[in-house]
Amino acid sequence: MSYSLSWLHQNTQANKTAILVPFFNEAGNGTHFKQRLAYFDALASSLPVEIDIILIDDGSSDNPQQYVNAHYQRLSVASVSPNGQKIGALQRTIEALDHEYIIFTDFDTELENLAQLTHTYNKLAADENCMGCYFKMMPIANSKPVVQFQLLEYALERAAYHFNANEGSVPIMPGAGCLYKRPIIEALLARHSGLRSGEDRETCLLGIEQGYTVFYEAEVVAMTAPPQSCWALYQQRVRWSRGFIEVAINKSDFYGQQMRKKTVLGRRHLLDIISVSTFLIAPLLLLFLFLLNETVGWGFLGVWSLIGIIETYAVYRVAKQEFKQLPQHRWQLVLMPFARLLLEVPTWWSVSSAMIWQKLRSRSTV
């Protein structure tokens, strides 16, 4: 499909780096929308002239142009139509740019320590085989238990990055905070399937499949707005889980190759498959064992819990520095497997059953 691009406000001055911020139907809350526009304009004005910030309206239907005015000092706002499911909007915008580097972030994310990019540029220029880097992802903190859970979970995920460091791989370059060399990302998006749920995971894998490497830029921070309720967190994980399955199916040959080669990426994918299978099968097995013999059931639950705790602390020990800002994180890690169980079991059952039902319905209509 072809997409058209127009500028609601253009103030691109640089040729070094473009920060792209796609959004869709965010103007419904006018106050919040104007606040975010003001934030990105202020951020752009505080950055070196070599960096442009470009917001991308991805075919919104809530008339965002009414809030875009000519008073922005450094901010640019583009409009892509029709809706490109994010990938189409990003690809069309990048085609219109000639910047050397492209940074992706989200509309509700705040970027910090961008001055560190000078060091990042040097590392990227020194390695033509490196396609980019991913930033330190951190939820914006508050005292809500659901947010505290995500703070710890994100820290565990950042610690897991360190397993991939020597290999120069990562399962996903998060769309809320990563940087690509522009010619490479333009080529990758041209090969993208367009699937929306796991678009950033697929983009990253397309690059690694071609032999490119990535690295973790821990000094640049992407502060994300996390879900504020259990229901919102569940809905987020449904989207993420669906994306994981879509990409796992779409890139099954590549994943299989990585597992046969016993790369870190392949081993992590195998562990992900085992984890998902456990979340789907273990509850039924646990119920069966309790019905069979209560003692056996409790024993199985104890072993299952112990394995989860050992796995959590194994990741923690790799990069303890990722937890420095989290008070009382050591004892909270003990509870992490149980919290994940409560979240992941209903998530994976919901996503798996929905995708199976969708597949069956599509077959019945053929």
Encode the chain (366 residues) as per-residue pLDDT tens digits.
Answer: 789 999 999 988 877 999 999 999 999 998 999 999 999 999 999 988 889 999 999 999 999 999 998 788 889 999 999 999 999 999 999 999 999 999 999 999 999 999 999 999 999 999 999 999 999 999 999 999 999 999 999 999 999 999 999 999 999 999 999 999 999 999 999 999 988 888 999 999 999 999 999 999 999 999 999 999 999 999 999 999 999 999 999 999 999 999 999 999 999 999 999 999 999 998 898 889 889 899 998 998 899 889 999 999 999 999 999 998 898 898 899 999 999 989 999 999 999 999 888 888 877 765
Q: CB–CB of 83/49 below 8 Å? A: no
Q: Are 251 and 209 in contact (CB under 8 A)?
A: yes
Q: What is the predicted pLDDT for the residue at 13?
A: 80
8 Å CB contact between 143 and 228: no
Q: What pLDDT does residue 366 have?
A: 58
Kindly report whether the peptide bond that precedes residue 82 is cis, defined as omega within 30 degrees of 0.
Answer: yes
The whole-number pLDDT of residue 142 equals 92
pLDDT of residue 72: 86
CA angle 271, 274, 280 (to 5 degrees): 145
